[in-house]
């Protein structure tokens, strides 16, 4: 998942997912509220230098190199490493992915069909809530976002 995927998602995908550390840093920079909510459920992984070189080469050939940020490059490289599908609305990422035979799908609007339903659980008294409160309205303990079972 790249940053654009994060920004347009209302829920984490149910499938296994991973993103490079740079994406997390971008979310931190924009103080995106999703990070606080999903932080401990997002899988973060570094890409290999080998894949990064391949991406660079492909992007150079296609003319996308100047339009891809260093973080975008690691998204592509990581997808190559894990043989995954990229979730991104970034045209240059999609273009290089296509060239390299990496699967991709747009995220904005109807891109993602399966979404996780969220509930919030108090870590103190264990009560479930549909909305997120700064603290449990019943006992005042911190709340935790959980996947609906």
Binding mask 10-49 for Zn ion (x = CB under 5 A): ----------------------------------------
- State the minimum distance, in angstroms, from the CB of residue 34 to Zn ion: 23
- State the minimum distance, in angstroms, from the CB of residue 131 to Zn ion: 14
Nearest 5 degrees, angle CA 34-CA 133-CA 1?
10
Q: Provide the 3-class DSSP secondary structure of residue 100.
A: helix
- State the minimum distance, in angstroms, from the CB of residue 5 to Zn ion: 33
Residues 88 and 69: their CA atoms lie apart, in Å, by: 13
From residue 12, how far is each of 32, 72, 79, 115 by CA, in Å? Answer: 14, 19, 17, 7
Question: Is position 143 an interface residue for Zn ion (rule: CB under 5 A)?
Answer: no
Kindly list the residues in this chain that would bind Zn ion in the complex (CB under 5 A): 122, 124-125, 136, 138-139, 141
């Amino acid at each position: 998942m790249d940053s654009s995927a994060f920004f347009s998602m209302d829920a984490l995908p149910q499938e296994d997912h991973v993103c490079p550390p740079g994406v997390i840093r971008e979310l931190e920079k924009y103080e995106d509220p999703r990070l606080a909510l999903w932080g401990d459920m997002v899988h973060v992984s570094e890409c290999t230098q080998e894949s990064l070189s391949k991406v660079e080469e492909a992007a150079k050939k296609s003319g996308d190199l100047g339009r891809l940020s260093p973080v975008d490059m690691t998204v592509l490289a990581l997808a190559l490493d894990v043989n995954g599908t990229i979730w991104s609305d970034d045209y240059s990422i999609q273009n290089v992915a296509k060239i390299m035979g990496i699967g991709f799908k747009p995220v904005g609007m109807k891109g993602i069909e399966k979404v996780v339903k969220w509930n919030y659980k108090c870590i103190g008294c264990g009560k479930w809530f549909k909305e997120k409160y700064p603290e449990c309205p019943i006992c005042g303990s911190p709340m935790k976002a959980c996947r609906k079972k």
